[in-house]
Amino acid sequence: ERSRGEDHNAAVALVGSASNTAAKNLRDLLNMKTKAGYSSVTVSGTDYRRAGRAARAMVDEALRP
């Protein structure tokens, strides 16, 4: 199954049906994407590191047997 709409919350909900942790990580990444892409606020090094950890955790969970 996949999320077909433009609503990121639907994608988070779909991921959440498989893993609450992955849903939290996806929500964090989408929030940072919005901040980085649509805001004049500079994304901090802390945010970059947090995004990297969230992305890595999602990949690790997806690869888990």
Report the pLDDT value the prediction gives residue 24, as an integer from 0 to 100. Answer: 95
b/e per residue, 34-54, with b = 16+ CB within 10 A? eeeeeeeeeeeeebeebbeeb
**pLDDT tops 90 at residue 5:** no
pTM, to two decimals: 0.79
Domain ranges of the chain: 8-63
**pLDDT tops 80 at residue 4:** no
Three-state SS sequence of 6-27: CCHHHHHHHHHCCCHHHHHHHH
20-54, pLDDT tens digit by residue?
Answer: 999 999 999 998 888 888 888 888 899 889 999 99
Q: Give the three-class secondary structure for 32.
A: helix
